[in-house]
Amino acid sequence: MMKEMYPKNGKVILHVDMNSFYASVEMAYDSNLKGKPLAIAGNVEERRGIIVTCSYEARKFGVKTTMPLWEARKLCPQLVVMKPNFERYRAVSLAMFEILRHYTDLVEPVSIDEGYLDITESFEFGSPMEIAESIQKRIHEQLDIPCSIGIAPNKFLAKTASDMKKPMGITVLRKRDIPKVLWPLNTNDMHGVGKKTAEKLETIGIHTIGDLAKGNEIQLKTLLGINGIRLKERANGMDYRPVDPESIEEFKSIGNSTTLPKDVGNQLELFRVLESLAETVSVRLNRKKVLASTLGITIRYKDRKTITRSKKLSNPISHKEDLSSFAKQLFLKSWNGDPIRLLGITGTDLVDQTRAYKQLDLFSYEKDAKKEPLLNTISSLREKFGKSIIENAGSHKMDGSQNIGTGTSFNKDFLRAFPNKNKDPD
């Protein structure tokens, strides 16, 4: 009987999104923080920090993510500020995904605090609404964390639905609801459309999601590349991406190596090669919008003996200067002085560039603090003109395509700790 509540041909996808995750985890660990305006900041000293996330109580005062800490304190003098505890967030995230796997093997983590579930064959646990209510209840009771859930026939609509009611909301969004619910909204209210893209769309007369749904494909492709076609499909509620538990392995490593035209034993010459390799790897990392948490080098000597060495970094990197510096340090520790025929640099343990937050240490604190005014200025410019107003040169994709979707705070390296085995239903 319950199976009849599921579509015969289509799918039922849930998007589960933790509400104000870092702040909620801290409140779960310390009940004294509940009900208070709480912010998590990369550097808790006044005027030097940036808000990573904040509680809904803090948001009522106008505090928001990426805001400088001094400004947040001005808006909310009673703001409680804490440093991020990534190990704590990681542990809660793992527990949250274990709960999700109770209902289906098809769970796709997309960040530390959100994921998709394909529950098309999960009718034994009840109707889609009953499953969503059960998930929300279990996460709240077992972890003391609020979450919002979207129920829809595909990932795009599920993600859109989960954003509609926060915190602790459950929203059903069907394709037949799109003309009434989505089409009247401005394009920048659509998941996957930033302010800059919305401004571009306005130049061809597209102001609402409905306009985009009916847009001319040739115009859209000329303006935005393949992403223009993809956005039109989304505006019409079309999204054929499957829920893929293995998608976290999309980018395992990014690197580059070169075979030298002759055997080289001169250190300065080898350093120049490493600098060139670092520049290429930096461009590729930025193009994929990821950072490397581990850096490796490959050395092949003239007798073809090859060695690889790697180092786990305290902070993820993507800038060519950082890559070059660490590669040289690793090289000097590994090189035996013999002439070299091949050199390579590889970045692994990749983390999403837009969601990775740097944990400052005693060595980098002073340098990062000096960068803070620049970061604040960049943040303001992006707020005013769109996220892509200032980017590294290497971040521009050569094929004109763009990734659809942004998310909340996330380190992709945490996903690599997920066991491949799936938990059997209790």
d(CA 106, CA 116): 8
114 included as an active-site residue: yes
Distance of CA 8 to the CA centre of its chain: 33
Sign, CA dihedral 222-224-225-230, equals: negative
Both structure tokens of 419: 């066991």
Alpha carbon of 163 to those of 18, 157, 160, 299: distances in Å? 11, 10, 5, 49
Sign, CA dihedral 317-319-325-327, equals: positive
φ/ψ (deg, to 5) at 67: -70, 140
d(CA 390, CA 392): 7
Query: Could you tell me if residue 9 is left (phi over 0), alpha (psi between -120 and 50 degrees) or otherwise beta?
Result: alpha
φ/ψ (deg, to 5) at 287: -65, -35
d(CA 82, CA 167): 21
d(CA 183, CA 165): 18
Active-site hit among 114, 202, 233, 321: 114
Enclosing H/E stretch for 172: strand 170-172
d(CA 69, CA 369): 12
Where do the DSSP E strands lie in 265-412? 290-301, 306-317, 340-352
d(CA 16, CA 148): 6
Enclosing H/E stretch for 150: strand 147-152
What burial class does residue 120 get, using C-beta atoms within 10 Å of its C-beta: 0-12 exposed, 13-18 middle, 19+ buried? middle
For 391, residues 6+ apart whose C-beta sits below 8 A from its C-beta are 286
Whether cis (ω within 30° of 0) applies to the bond prior to 373 is no
Catalytic residue ranges: 114
